[in-house]
Amino acid sequence: MSISQAMMSGVSGLMANSKAVARISYNIANSDTYGFRRSFAQMLTSGATNPSGSVSASGVRAEVVHENTQDGTPLSTGEATNLAISGSGFFAVTRNVNDGTGEPEHYLTRAGDFQPDSEGYLRNAAGMYLGGFPYDETGSLGVIDRNQFSGLETVRIAEMSIAGNPTSEMTLTGNLPSQETGLATPGDPFISSIEYFTPLGAAERLQFSWQPSSTANEWNLSITDSSGATYGSLTATFNDSGALAGTPSGFSGVTSTATAPAAFSFDTSTGIATVTIDNGTTPQTITVDMGAPNSFGGLSQFSGDYVPLTGNADGTQSGSLARAEISNDGIVYGIFDNGMRRALYQIPLATVPNPNGLLTADNATFLISEDSGAFTLAEAGTGTAGEITGGAVESSNVDIAEELTELIQKQRAFSSNAKIITTADEMLDETVRLKR
């Protein structure tokens, strides 16, 4: 190697180590950046082909290598919309809101510090919007292509309402005190009301008034609504002995007092009442199961305290979104103030064969490249995709101690290469002097 070649090798060493120091400074500067992925300069020998066809070493060059497969530490935040990934995968994000009408450019990121903006769209501190597959009202995702971004929409958690389901069935249980019957002057009735839901999602109540009779083990029932409108009445008798003691022995005296189109009927063989409520163009019909004669499971009459009637009524009230929850498989659930829980979005994780081959963009994001391979928008927790943890963010995977150690090594290497140049300069100067 000539003196000039030695000098050029030293220059290449200075440039390579300068590039390495730049990567170290970049890592240290982003050591507290959520979801940041460390990169470093890997030194490679560079060579030149001489006239004989052989390759001779001529210096060194630095190639930037990304460390995208090493997880950062999850940090709990308590914010339901903050997300951390454990394992492989990236969130798919866009710079602008994607409402499904266009096709904005998508980026990949691990920065999961998402918060609703003024319109409810989830966006992280870098201004990147989170993408997800929307569920329809039936709870279905439909047919989606997980090898394209076109099916993604920006996840939005904003004010929304959910329609209620009208009540159609009701089951009554409870105990009537037997000692209250058979008295010469019976006491006051025992009253319970059961909530039901209208077709418009409103909550109403049916009232059941049980009047003890002067005849032992006999009760007179009347049914009204919260406005005082009556539907009907009947008499219920109960067994007072034998294996079936306490169960209804029969029903009689069924009378409808409802005003059409409201109606009331009762099947004495099954213990099921049919109440038709005039609350719309098409009246609402509710069946009320009080328990079949000579069977347990419905109403009962035993000595002791009155156990207020409870009713298991189907249907739900209309509701408004109260909060959101995100499961480990990336499903965003809306929790409504009527107690309903409904899937709103599925947040996929973008996986690629070679995560270290992704192109680095700004705001802790990446782009698909030829080196990374094609992406798949996988369901979290399936295949190679990691899991999503709500209420947490992922820290940078930078180790400060490691970076500072590398910085010392690169500083020494830089100084050594600088020494090569000064030494070669002195040698060239000495060679020039040979002529004098």
Contacts of 157 (CB under 8 A, 6+ apart): 81, 116, 120, 122, 321, 324, 332, 334, 344
Spell 164-176 as b/e; 16+ CB within 10 A means b: bbbbebbbbbbbb
DSSP calls for 220-270: EEEEEETT--EEEEEEEEE--SSTTTTSEEEEEEEEE-PPTT-EEEEETTT
**CA geometry: angle at 332 spanning 99 and 163, to 5°?**
80
* Residue 357: DSSP 8-state: G
**Coil/strand/helix, residue 216:** coil
Architecture per CATH, domain 169-313, reads as Sandwich (2.60)
In the chain, what are the domain boundaries? 3-67+397-433, 74-162+320-394, 169-313
Residue 202 is predicted with a pLDDT of 86
Total Cβ atoms within 10 A of residue 210 = 21
**Coil/strand/helix, residue 170:** strand
pTM, entire model: 0.69
**CA geometry: angle at 296 spanning 292 and 302, to 5°?**
110
**Coil/strand/helix, residue 413:** helix
Please state, in angstroms and rounded to a whole number, the distance separating the CA atoms of residues 312 and 335: 22
Please state, in angstroms and rounded to a whole number, the distance separating the CA atoms of residues 426 and 436: 16
Half-sphere exposure of 148 (CA within 13 A, CB side): 7
User: From first to last of its 436 residues, what are the pLDDT tens digits of the chain?
Assistant: 577 777 888 888 888 888 889 899 988 998 888 888 888 888 888 766 565 555 565 788 888 888 888 888 999 998 989 999 999 999 999 999 987 666 788 999 999 999 999 999 999 999 999 999 999 888 889 889 999 998 899 999 887 878 788 999 999 988 999 999 999 999 999 998 999 999 888 889 999 999 999 999 999 999 998 888 899 999 999 999 999 999 999 999 999 999 999 999 999 999 999 999 998 899 999 999 999 999 998 899 999 888 888 878 888 888 888 888 899 999 999 888 877 888 999 999 999 999 999 998 888 899 999 999 999 999 999 988 999 999 999 999 898 999 899 899 988 988 888 888 888 878 888 787 886 6
Residue 39 is predicted with a pLDDT of 86
Residue 339 is predicted with a pLDDT of 77
Residue 55 is predicted with a pLDDT of 52
Instruction: Read off the amino acid at residue 424.
Output: A
